[in-house]
Amino acid sequence: MNYRKMAGEELSILGFGAMRLPNDNGKVDENAAVSLIRKGVDMGINYIDTAYVYHNGESETIVGKALSGSYARGARIATKLPLWLCNETGDFDKYLGEQLKRLGRDHIDFYLVHALGGEAWKKAQKLEIVKKMEKARADGRIGHIGFSFHDRFESFVEIIDAYNWEFCQIQFNYMDENFQAGGKGLQYAHEKGVGVIVMEPLRGGSLAINLPQSVYKELNSGFAGRTAADWALSFVWDRPETAVALSGMNTLAQLEENAGIASRPLTRSGGFFTEAEHRAVEKAREEFLKLIKVPCTNCGYCLPCKAGVDIPLNFTLYNSTFMYANTNSARLSYNMFMPPHKRASACVNCGECLGKCPQKIEIAARLKQTHQTLYMPSNADNSTVKKRELQK
């Protein structure tokens, strides 16, 4: 297993994401999950990521059971504060206390504010969350302070610059270099001395299974035998700014494959890719991009929208439902992480953006299609639904 240093600790470059644990008819198979996590630790994985809401709260409990007994010192635990459930300053200690109880510990190694973005950061400041985290670190309840992020790059910069964070967690893969924090955020955090945990390196499985044939052709041209998961993970690890890439493994086969990739000897340059392999990934990306339905280039000329709609982000999520076999990630981002006033449904059809778009996109009509495609049924903003969607 290869390791990299983050926040003063040697961490396995492969992290075990406990959001997609083995399940039987929708319920977590506890014995299988505990066994799988422990097998991962035996293979050298020492960073286990969970959250308050994963698997309706079961994930933290199962991670705690897996990392007990002789496994208690075998790995670092990372979990997250559900900021959207916090309404007063006392809620921080309430949720942290509950999480410590679930995990069966008096200390959490890496503690994150879950799903920060521009709006959420304002709430975190109002509730003095950072001060609460510092107090919890001082009294030993938590170790390292960080946040996970779901918003535009500009908001990421604002949050990174606002505090001396030890680490952050962002979405990054070869198709999301310009999505949310993206590659620029990865580099920016690294330059500021903030460690980076990468989530969704396989884009929820979209880059590992059922790839379009044209994409497979480009990836395997001259590189036969390398799996889709190998390409996606190696791309992320080839960036030295990546400390850990999380994978939501729920079978032994997935664990063994990913651990094998993470244990591979590095190239002469210290990376995971040769120049030829980088070119193959670039060609695969081009094949994916041919599948987009709305030719939005994310130039931002349509912004600001007077109704507050984040037009480019909506189209990015809409396009992804046609590019990948797995659409859960796009729907999750739309319903869980995007404030209602930024969603496509907030469009008032004023027409102001039409003359600004270099691509001449019929923006209002396309936004309507976007909402119809991505919106989850009633009460999508309800915290219960949010919990349920985070489990997927």
Q: Is the pLDDT assigned to residue 110 strictly greater than 80? A: yes
The residues near 7 (Cβ < 8 Å, ≥ 6 apart) are: 110, 144, 166, 167, 195
Per the listing, tokens 């983050």 go with 6
- 106 and 140 in contact (C-beta within 8 Å)? yes
Q: What is the pTM of this model?
A: 0.85
Residue 25, token pair as written in the block = 């008819």
Distance, in Å, from the CA atom of 234 to the CA atom of 228, rounded to the nearest integer, reads: 10
Distance, in Å, from the CA atom of 33 to the CA atom of 22, rounded to the nearest integer, reads: 6
Average pLDDT over residues 124-142: 98
Residue 187, token pair as written in the block = 């580099």
Nearest to 198 by CA among 153, 259, 248: 248
Nearest to 345 by CA among 377, 372, 315, 382: 372
pLDDT for the residue numbered 380: 43
Q: What is the pLDDT of residues 333-384, one digit of tens each?
A: 899 888 999 999 999 999 999 988 888 999 999 999 999 999 987 544 444 3
Alpha helices in the chain, H assignment, sequence order: 30-42, 58-66, 91-103, 118-126, 129-138, 153-162, 182-191, 213-220, 228-237, 252-262, 275-289, 311-323, 328-332, 363-374, 383-390
Residue 124, token pair as written in the block = 């975190």
Please tell me whether the peptide bond between 304 and the residue prior to it is cis, using omega within 30 degrees of 0: yes
Distance, in Å, from the CA atom of 12 to the CA atom of 209, rounded to the nearest integer, reads: 24
Q: Which CATH architecture has domain 3-280?
A: Alpha-Beta Barrel (3.20)
Average pLDDT over residues 71-93: 96
pLDDT for the residue numbered 390: 42
- 68 and 104 in contact (C-beta within 8 Å)? yes
Domain ranges of the chain: 3-280, 311-390
pLDDT range class, residue 36, cuts 50, 70, 90: very high
pLDDT for the residue numbered 388: 39
First-to-last alpha carbon distance for the chain, in angstroms, is: 28
Distance, in Å, from the CA atom of 224 to the CA atom of 94, rounded to the nearest integer, reads: 52
Residue 313, token pair as written in the block = 């982000």
Q: What is the pLDDT of residues 263-303, one digit of tens each?
A: 988 766 667 888 889 999 999 999 999 998 998 878 888 99
Return mean pLDDT, the chain. 91
pLDDT for the residue numbered 71: 96
Average pLDDT over residues 228-247: 96
Based on C-alpha coordinates, what's the Rg of the chain? 21
- Calculate the alpha carbon distances from 164 to 144, 170, 192, 319 in Å: 11, 17, 9, 36
